[in-house]
Amino acid sequence: MKIGIAAPVPLHLLDVDFKGNLLPDTYNRVPITALLINALLQRGYEIVVYTTSCKIMEPVIIETDRVTVCVAPYKPHPGRDFFRSIRQDLIQLMKKYPADLINAHWSYEYAWAALGTNLPVVVTVRDHALTILKYHPIPFRVVRWLMNGIVLSKAKELTTNSHYLFKLLSKTEQKKTTIIQNFYPKLIENYFISYEKKLDYMVSVNNGFGKRKNIENGLLAFQQIRKKYPSLTYYLLGHNMDAEGLAYQYAKKHNLTQGVVFMGPKSYTETMEMIASAKLLLHTSREESFGNTLLEAMVLGTPVVAGSKSGNVPFLLGHGKYGVLCDVDSVNEIQKAAEKILSNSTFANQLTGEANRYATASFSEDSIVEAYITMYKKVLKLKSYDAVY
């Protein structure tokens, strides 16, 4: 079976020998699609990657023994024509380099393009367009919301990555939807660190600075936490978290930089190492469709503080059994939740132990990837459920 993955894919994370071929820069903020491709490759499947890059003017094709990478140009201001030119380029690539089935991730241009072919398509819904529009009421998000509606109406097979997202779908959409949650890659289990060996810092990992991510309250809470724990450092990782980014600009303007290190984007390995060594992961986001960073912290042995009403977060954290939940709109509540962990190592150890056992039992690569493969074969109506090598 040859599987197509149409999505933003950080190509540098693929476990593939490209034999010196130069990879175009692609969207690199979300590793989950690359992790899925790697897992499918490890199980013997051929893969065709359909993705985009804003650094190229013409399509780029890179072929290896078991992977074909098709990269379309990402044109400026794509929302003005509903991503029409990008979708057309993707459709041409999908037809010229076809797969037996395409799994398109997110319900926007990649999925719309895949649905424009005659190939079997599974659309994986990874966010809720209307919720994001409410947090970011700008024309671009209106376009995305409209595209999402078109995709969900056209798609015959859907998956969502959480029960939270499933409940936000219409009854009609739910009837054609399978819940396949996110997974963590096996390799990060090797980074597990017990609480006694943690270093004296807390960490947040976010891509973007805005109302939904709510970094401001994390910065405000940390300054209160420092009064009791003056040696504690706060590391901010991710897009817009660098030394000149929006988070720093806000912190500088409001005199919130003391004890804060603005690290910006880091590699996946560096990010896992930073989370593993932290005394706690603070996640102040007001909404998450799943919460990959939280899952990774659970596997790595790092206690989590996150929002009690933040989308899928309370479900992922067992409604407080696997992390400390709080009102992330309250700086004082964030402070109290963090200090509950920092002041009690016995509690922190118990929390991380239960979180690790739950995460490794429920979100392993083997079980989740097998669910994807089962879905692909169901769509293709294959009789054999053995991997094709």
The reply to whether 388 falls in a domain is no
Q: Do 97 and 232 share a domain, yes or no?
A: no
The reply to whether 387 falls in a domain is no
Q: Do 368 and 287 share a domain, yes or no?
A: no
The reply to whether 386 falls in a domain is no
Q: Do 224 and 178 share a domain, yes or no?
A: no
Amino acid identity at 88: Q
Q: Do 160 and 214 share a domain, yes or no?
A: no
Amino acid identity at 339: E
Structural domain count, the chain: 2
CB 189 within 8 A of CB 299: yes
CB 302 within 8 A of CB 281: yes
DSSP of 336-355: HHHHHHHT-HHHHHHHHHHH
Amino acid identity at 340: K
Rounded distance between C-alpha atoms, residue 117 and residue 340, angstroms: 53
At 381 the pLDDT is 85
Q: Do 248 and 375 share a domain, yes or no?
A: no
Q: Do 169 and 202 share a domain, yes or no?
A: no
Amino acid identity at 142: V
Q: Do 8 and 30 share a domain, yes or no?
A: yes
The reply to whether 385 falls in a domain is no
DSSP of 307-337: ETTSTTHHHHTGGGTSSEEE-TT-HHHHHHH
* Residue-range definition of the domain harbouring residue 31: 2-183+364-380
Rounded distance between C-alpha atoms, residue 274 and residue 252, angstroms: 24
Q: Do 69 and 123 share a domain, yes or no?
A: yes
CB 264 within 8 A of CB 276: no
At 131 the pLDDT is 96
CA distances from 139 to 44, 82, 239, 290 (A): 43, 11, 22, 25
In this structure, the strands spanning 260-264 and 233-237 are: parallel
The structure tokens listed for 176 are 């054609």
Amino acid identity at 362: S
CB 221 within 8 A of CB 259: no
CATH number of the domain encompassing residue 275 = 3.40.50.2000
Helix (H) or strand (E) holding 275: helix 268-277
User: Each residue's pLDDT tens digit in the chain (389 positions)?
Assistant: 999 999 999 999 999 998 888 899 998 888 999 999 999 999 999 999 999 999 999 999 999 989 999 999 998 899 999 999 999 999 999 999 999 999 999 999 999 999 999 999 999 999 999 999 999 999 999 999 999 999 999 999 999 999 999 999 999 999 999 999 999 999 999 999 999 899 999 999 998 899 999 999 999 999 999 999 999 999 999 999 999 899 999 999 999 999 999 999 999 999 999 999 999 999 999 999 999 999 999 999 999 999 999 999 999 999 999 999 999 999 999 999 999 999 999 999 999 999 999 999 999 999 999 999 999 999 998 644 444 43
Whether the model pTM is above 0.85? yes
Rounded distance between C-alpha atoms, residue 382 and residue 337, angstroms: 50
Q: Do 117 and 56 share a domain, yes or no?
A: yes
User: Roughly how many angstroms between the first and final C-alpha of the chain, as a whole number?
Assistant: 8
At 383 the pLDDT is 43
CB atoms within 10 A of CB 196: 8
The structure tokens listed for 28 are 């690199």
Q: Do 368 and 358 share a domain, yes or no?
A: no
Residue partners of 255: CB distance under 8 A and separation at least 6 = none
At 95 the pLDDT is 97
At 385 the pLDDT is 43
At 253 the pLDDT is 96
Amino acid identity at 219: L
The reply to whether 76 falls in a domain is yes
Query: CA torsion sign, 216 to 217 to 222 to 227?
Result: positive
Q: Do 200 and 310 share a domain, yes or no?
A: yes
Amino acid identity at 318: G
Amino acid identity at 178: T
Q: Do 307 and 285 share a domain, yes or no?
A: yes
At 30 the pLDDT is 86
CB 341 within 8 A of CB 303: yes
The reply to whether 137 falls in a domain is yes
Beta bridge partners of 283: 306
Main-chain phi, psi angles of 312, to 5 degrees? -80, -5
The reply to whether 389 falls in a domain is no
Beta bridge partners of 52: 72
The reply to whether 172 falls in a domain is yes
